[in-house]
């Protein structure tokens, strides 16, 4: 009597055709997923860079608000949707320079008159109450801000190259508004427009 047994089943032709196709499909799916992920990352990178910028503070002109070595996040579209306001910290192209940027605080808007006398800054004859400055300015002067331009000062008033020395910032030269300090982590701070920057009645 012949023993009956079953050996390993032999795959039919259809199974043999499907096996390598499944491997190829799996490999192709992985490649497609990888390419999609890379493309999405590139799109996000381009969008983020179009909407924001990152800058490093290089000098002492904005002390004590900003310290050399700190990194800031800049909103590039802030003034596409609105206008600069007194107290905003802005980044702009340095006068006569296309590759160098400055960071200062907006003090005078188009049409304003800025006067500095006896250590006090006046805008349209109203004194500004500024608790953030390193020291009161030791210089004097009066400036009438033209249309489409802004008067800016560094918070370190007596150690800053700003509008009191070289004039106004054209609106087209403004890169954006400083949003926050993001590095070092211990110094993370949102740079909101302080309530103290207002005309004292």
Beta carbons within 10 angstroms of residue 117's beta carbon: 13
Check residue 147 and give left, alpha or beta (phi > 0: left; psi -120 to 50: alpha). beta
Q: Which of 61, 63, 160, 163 is catalytic?
A: 61
Q: Which of 63, 104, 160, 163 is catalytic?
A: 104
The dihedral through the CA atoms of 93, 95, 96, 101 has a sign that is: negative
Question: Is 61 an active-site residue?
Answer: yes
124: nearest Cα among 106, 139, 145: 145
CA torsion 191→193→197→199, rounded to 10°? 170
Contact yes or no for 70/185 (Cβ under 8 A): no
What are residue 102's DSSP bridge partners? 92
Tell me the catalytic residues.
61, 104
């Amino acid at each position: 009597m012949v023993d009956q047994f079953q050996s390993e089943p032999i795959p039919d032709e259809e199974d043999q055709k499907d096996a390598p196709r499944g491997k190829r499909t799996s490999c192709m799916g992985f490649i497609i997923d990888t390419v999609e992920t890379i493309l999405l990352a590139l799109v996000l990178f381009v969008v983020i860079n179009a909407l924001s910028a990152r800058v490093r503070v290089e000098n002492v002109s904005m002390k004590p608000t900003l310290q050399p070595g700190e990194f800031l996040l800049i909103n590039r579209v802030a003034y596409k949707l609105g206008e600069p306001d007194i107290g905003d910290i802005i980044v702009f192209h340095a006068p006569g320079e296309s590759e160098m940027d400055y960071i200062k605080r907006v003090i005078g808007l188009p049409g304003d008159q800025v006067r500095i006398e006896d250590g006090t800054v006046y805008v349209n004859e109203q004194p500004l109450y500024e608790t953030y400055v390193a020291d009161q300015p030791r210089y004097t002067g009066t400036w009438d801000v033209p249309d489409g331009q802004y008067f800016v000062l560094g918070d370190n008033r007596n150690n800053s190259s700003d509008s009191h020395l070289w004039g106004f910032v054209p609106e087209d030269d403004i890169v954006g508004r400083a949003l926050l300090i993001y590095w070092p982590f211990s110094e993370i701070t949102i740079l909101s427009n302080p309530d103290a920057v207002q005309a004292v009645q």
